[in-house]
């Protein structure tokens, strides 16, 4: 039994999935809260996405309420100061001749941004201006064609970083759903990886089956852990024939579920990505996206029908949980069923220490088999 979860709420020097590409049109910008900070997320007319602190250094107006000019600069709505997407001030319109002033000494914090596979990732550095130490995860190709070629990469037992990089093709989002959970990132993450709640929270005929003992193998990943590939027990998966599933979790709050199978003579992958994006201390967006090959399109109605309900179950339970948490009770983490949550707290603590002291991160997770009933 353990009590964990004290210390800093947010981890930095990591990429946060902030928005879906399709939600940000060319020439548009808006405020996105991220780790309690107001971030302007914008897209230039040439398609480039950028992010900067959404507070004008002059008098605090939200820059996102201004506009993107033809030259690509962001213009503040209050006195028209202009900023490049690197956050450097390029013009103060009120200055007249003779009032020499180097505007480029005025800067707004800018954030590194990466856009790939229909997703916009923003890097939140512990020290503003620091260069990213790592890359956001890439989505692997989901259609491996007509022959069994699936054995080239990592085997089920090989722990690895989320997915191999260096591939130029972009994967297409087939389904997505975002719901705002009124809880901290910690409760959102723990709810996501909690194996013991399904029978009670997702109490639907299409998901349920009689509780039984589960035994799952876990291994460490660079900044998290993986439940290695196994046959899923839920009947809902049987639609896809014989499949295996592998579930990874890595900091800050990135969970991948990869289903691998073979149908109509073709091997396939279905990749589900779930992120918990902390907007502030008490609000966390759960963003779920799925990637799969076009010829599996017949499964889409299932996502439309069941997806929002399923995520909504988790949202409702954390809302209910608030009724207890507001009295700030001590909480418990019990045995193997809560081991993923214990690991989450430990990985996070080790990461916080490493970013604070500038030392190398050492993953505290050890390979293990966990047993629980659900």
Contact residues for ligand FES, defined by CB under 6 A: 56, 58-59, 61, 76, 78-79, 81
**Residue 263 three-state SS:** strand
| Nearest-approach distance from CB 89 to ligand FES, in angstroms | 9
Nearer to Fe ion, 141 or 179 (CB): 179
Residues 6+ apart with CB under 8 A from 138: 116, 117, 162, 163, 164, 165, 167
| Nearest-approach distance from CB 187 to Fe ion, in angstroms | 12
Nearer to ligand FES, 7 or 77 (CB): 77
CA distances from 346 to 162, 219, 221, 341, 354 (A): 19, 15, 13, 9, 12
Nearer to Fe ion, 54 or 314 (CB): 314
- Residue 275 near which of ligand FES, Fe ion, none (CB within 5-8 Å, type-dependent): none
Contacting range for Fe ion; rule: CB under 5 A; set: 100-108, 253-261, 314-322, 325-333: 314-322
Q: Binding of Fe ion at residue 247 (CB under 5 A)? A: no
Torsion on CA atoms 331, 334, 338, 339, rounded to nearest 10: 120
Nearer to Fe ion, 122 or 286 (CB): 286
End-to-end CA distance of the chain: 19
Question: What's the token pair of residue 116?
Answer: 């790939």
Nearer to ligand FES, 58 or 109 (CB): 58
DSSP label of 299:
G
Nearer to Fe ion, 172 or 204 (CB): 204
Per-residue contact string for residues 70-109; x = within reach of Fe ion by CB under 5 A: ----------------------------------------
- Residue 81 near which of Fe ion, ligand FES, none (CB within 5-8 Å, type-dependent): ligand FES
Nearer to ligand FES, 78 or 207 (CB): 78
Evaluated on CA atoms 360, 361, 365, 367, the torsion sign reads negative
| Nearest-approach distance from CB 310 to Fe ion, in angstroms | 7
- Residue 314 near which of ligand FES, Fe ion, none (CB within 5-8 Å, type-dependent): Fe ion
Q: Binding of Fe ion at residue 193 (CB under 5 A)? A: no
How far is the C-alpha of 314 from the C-alpha of 198, rounded, in Å?
9
Q: Are 136 and 114 in contact (CB under 8 A)?
A: yes
How far is the C-alpha of 194 from the C-alpha of 182, rounded, in Å?
18
Q: Nearest residue by C-beta to Fe ion?
A: 314
Say whether the peptide bond before residue 252 is cis (omega within 30 degrees of 0): yes
| Nearest-approach distance from CB 317 to ligand FES, in angstroms | 43
How far is the C-alpha of 342 from the C-alpha of 61, rounded, in Å?
42
- Residue 56 near which of Fe ion, ligand FES, none (CB within 5-8 Å, type-dependent): ligand FES
How far is the C-alpha of 141 from the C-alpha of 320, rounded, in Å?
39
| Nearest-approach distance from CB 234 to ligand FES, in angstroms | 53
Tokens 């790939």 locate to 116
Q: In this structure, what are the phi and psi dihedrals at residue 57, rounded to the nearest 5 degrees?
A: -70, -15
- Residue 372 near which of ligand FES, Fe ion, none (CB within 5-8 Å, type-dependent): none
Q: In this structure, what are the phi and psi dihedrals at residue 12, rounded to the nearest 5 degrees?
A: -120, -175
Question: What's the token pair of residue 226?
Answer: 């993986």
| Nearest-approach distance from CB 197 to Fe ion, in angstroms | 6
- Residue 58 near which of Fe ion, ligand FES, none (CB within 5-8 Å, type-dependent): ligand FES
CA 126 to chain CA mean position, Å: 18
Binder among 314, 341, 345, 352 for Fe ion (CB under 5 A):
314
| Nearest-approach distance from CB 2 to Fe ion, in angstroms | 22
Binding site for Fe ion (CB under 5 A): 314
């Amino acid at each position: 039994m353990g009590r964990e979860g004290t210390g800093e709420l947010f981890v930095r020097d990591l990429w946060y999935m902030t928005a879906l590409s399709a939600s940000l049109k060319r020439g548009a910008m808006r405020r996105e809260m991220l780790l309690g900070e107001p971030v302007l997320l914008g897209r230039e007319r040439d398609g480039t996405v950028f992010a900067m602190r959404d507070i004008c250094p002059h008098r605090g107006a939200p820059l996102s309420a201004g506009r993107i000019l033809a030259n690509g600069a962001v213009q503040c709505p209050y006195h028209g100061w202009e900023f490049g997407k690197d956050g450097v001030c390029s013009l103060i319109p009120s200055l007249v001749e003779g009032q020499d002033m180097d505007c480029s000494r005025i800067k707004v914090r800018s954030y590194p941004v990466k856009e790939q596979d229909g997703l916009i990732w923003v890097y939140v550095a512990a020290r503003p201006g620091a260069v990213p130490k790592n890359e956001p995860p890439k989505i692997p190709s989901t259609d491996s064609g007509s022959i069994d070629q699936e054995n080239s990469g990592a085997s089920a037992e090989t722990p690895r970083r989320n997915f191999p990089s260096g591939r130029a093709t972009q994967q297409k989002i087939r389904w997505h759903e975002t719901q705002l959970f009124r809880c901290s990132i910690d409760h959102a993450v723990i709810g996501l990886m909690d194996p013991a709640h399904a029978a009670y929270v997702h109490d639907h005929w299409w998901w349920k089956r009689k509780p039984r003992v589960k035994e799952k193998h876990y291994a460490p990943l660079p900044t998290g852990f993986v439940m290695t590939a196994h046959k899923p027990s839920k009947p809902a998966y049987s639609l896809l024939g014989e499949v295996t599933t592998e579930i990874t979790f890595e900091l800050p709050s990135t969970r991948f579920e990869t289903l691998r199978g073979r149908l109509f003579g073709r091997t396939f992958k279905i990749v589900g990505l779930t992120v918990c994006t902390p907007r502030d201390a008490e609000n966390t967006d759960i963003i779920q996206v799925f990637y799969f090959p076009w010829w599996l399109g017949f499964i889409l109605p299932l996502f439309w029908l069941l997806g929002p309900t399923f995520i909504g179950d988790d949202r409702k339970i954390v809302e209910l949980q608030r009724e207890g948490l507001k009295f700030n009770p001590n909480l418990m983490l019990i045995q193997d069923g809560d081991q993923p949550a214990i690991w989450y707290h430990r990985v996070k603590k080790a990461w916080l220490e490493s970013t604070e002291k500038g030392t190398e991160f050492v993953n505290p997770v050890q390979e293990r088999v966990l047993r629980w009933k659900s």
